[in-house]
Chains A and B, each alone.
Chain A
Amino acid sequence: MLIEQTLAQIEEKFPNSILENTEFAGEQILHVKGQHILKVLTSLKANGFNFLADLTAIDNLTLGGYERFAVSYHLLCHKTADRLTVKAYVSDKKPSLPSVESLWKTADWQEREVFDLFGIKFKGHPNLVRIMNPDDYDGHPLRKDYPRLGRKERYDFPIVDRGINKQKRTE
């Protein structure tokens, strides 16, 4: 089985980086320290996991976990149809991780989205600017301490002056 073999190899090679290796609903999850994620992913890619399906982050403020933010990478191996989730933990004091854009180009836009919505910086990313919110937006909306209704940005537009007065009629 590719997954068990690979996990055993990785745990041997990087004993200081791996925090834990759990399983839920039939899927394997590998928990890794944030700063060592590039080494671990390079080794996993060399072992056959050639497709990065998804890159996202979770704010563990009320869930608990090793650190506040967990960036999760979903990997897929086309040859054996195996999937693996790798979670990299990073704390909330100036959160930053090495970028994996050099391994998979798809990480470019997804890391920009994680930066925009969570505030985690990625070292080595070619163009780390906001992608979903306007460029002058303040704050990181998907953090747990950001209110869902926002901070009044959605009312902050001028009322259009039509230039003429038009008599309002109803049906």
Chain B
Amino acid sequence: MNHDDIKSNVLTTTLESAINWGRKNSLWPMPFGTACCGIEFMAVLAARTDISRFGAEAIRFSPRQSDLLIVAGRISIKMMPVLIRIYEQMPEPKWVISMGACASTGGVFDTYSVIQGIDNFIPVDVYVPGCPPRPEGVVESLMKIQNLIDKEKLSDYTLSSSK
């Protein structure tokens, strides 16, 4: 092989960039859609706003096979243990998008049975405001997650002292 062949057929990069590039372009979302935001999320998957252009077409409803949890809709006190269990079942690395006003802060429902924001109990990466947010807003939040993944380093993940 001479030098010209190597220049045109071989690419060198850092390990972190390669891993981040792979992760961000094949996010597998898991929709946790409860209410009206779930319908707007279905519109994100459908033909006009198409999330599979970002590599996120494989919508798997199993938490063990996905890495992006999208909480769409209001979470009531009966549903919260289910959400916590599903979050704990997802393997690392995982990211969370809180879609809509109800998942982020409780929305219009300041009552006895709606959780006022899932970030009280689960770490959230991106919040999408709106009631419901437009599908373009959800696509923007996916792009923000992709930017966050781009900036990650391998030293970001350390075991906590309790383990």
Contact = CB atoms under 8 A, between A and B. Distances in A.
22 contacts: A141-B112, A146-B112, A148-B110, A148-B111, A150-B111, A151-B112, A154-B113, A157-B81, A157-B115, A159-B120, A160-B84, A160-B87, A163-B162, A164-B157, A164-B158, A164-B159, A164-B160, A166-B123, A167-B153, A167-B156, A169-B156, A171-B147
Contacts of A134: 77-78
Contacts, number: 79
A93 interface: no
Closest 4 CB pairs between A and B?
A150-B112, A167-B156, A165-B160, A134-B78
A23 interface: no
B116 A154 contact: yes
Given A151-B112, A154-B113, A133 B160 contact: no
A171 B149 CA distance: 10
Range class of the A interface residue count = 20 to 34
Nearest to A162: B123
Interface string B127-159: 000000000000000001001100111011111
Nearest to A167: B156
A154 B89 CA distance: 23
A171 B113 CA distance: 33
A164 B92 contact: yes
Main secondary structure of the interface of A (DSSP, over half): loop
A21 to B, nearest CB: 37
A26 interface: no
Interface in B6-31: none
B36 interface: no
Interface string A115-138: 000000000000000000110000
Contacts of A149: 110-112
Contacts of A156: 77
Contacts of B144: 171
A104 B30 CA distance: 41
Contacts of A165: 157-160
